[in-house]
Copies of this chain bind each other. A is one copy, B any other.
């Protein structure tokens, strides 16, 4: 399973001296069905976790960035595939080493548990999106998530120059579609809709700027629950 960056990722220290692995875009790190004997920490870049049915339908479960963690399951096999989106470096550690670390250090296990809870809450956010929101709303939520991840990743506290409002989209349209339960054409049209309502501007294929953050949040319905929940008070902006 995968974990979002936490407040104090103190269990990630098992990766401190760990060997690293470099991945090219599209390269597969974990094959669904393989024996789940290793866990990974993303050092930079981005990977996506997905499930693909035998009929080719694919659902992306999450995009992972720096300091996110993948690989632990309740069974002996991975039930998902992990694939690099861009050039990515990961640290590798054996499952048993992680389990020992968890067993021996209560504080670490506590942290891990907390992370798991947050991941679960993120999964339920996605469930709400897929079950209840329209295409444009899902895209709005997605852009806000990317903005948020970027902020956490870069540790940006104040945002004078509005750097945060430039959102990079390292993944292709089809990947976004398979994450949001849509088709790539619908993703395109939803981008246009957001642009026409002047909530965003498409600078380039893989770069959009948020023009009206408040309206985007309103559309995403972020007030209800969702995202900026894992942020400490320092980070509100």
Contacts and interface: CB of A to CB of B under 8 A. Distances in A.
Given A116-B120, A123-B123, 17 more contacts: A1-B120, A1-B121, A53-B132, A54-B221, A54-B223, A54-B224, A55-B221, A58-B132, A80-B124, A103-B106, A103-B110, A116-B116, A116-B117, A120-B120, A120-B123, A130-B130, A131-B178
15 contacts: A1-B117, A53-B128, A54-B221, A57-B133, A61-B124, A73-B121, A74-B114, A74-B118, A75-B229, A79-B121, A79-B225, A120-B120, A123-B124, A126-B127, A127-B127
Interface in A200-229: 221, 223-225, 229
Contacts of A116: 113, 116-117, 120
Contact of A132 (B57, B115, B118, B133): B57
Interface of A: 1, 32, 51, 53-55, 57-59, 61, 72-75, 79-80, 102-103, 106, 109-110, 112-121, 123-124, 126-128, 130-133, 178, 180-181, 221, 223-225, 229
A120 B119 contact: yes
Contacts of A221: 53-55
Contacts of A130: 127, 130-131, 181
A127 B229 contact: no
A138 to B, nearest CB: 10
Given A110-B103, A116-B117, A131 B59 contact: yes
Nearest first, the 6 closest Cβ-Cβ pairs linking A and B are A131-B181, A74-B117, A130-B130, A123-B123, A57-B132, A59-B131
Contact of A59 (B110, B117, B132): B132
Contacts of A127: 59, 61, 123, 126-127, 130
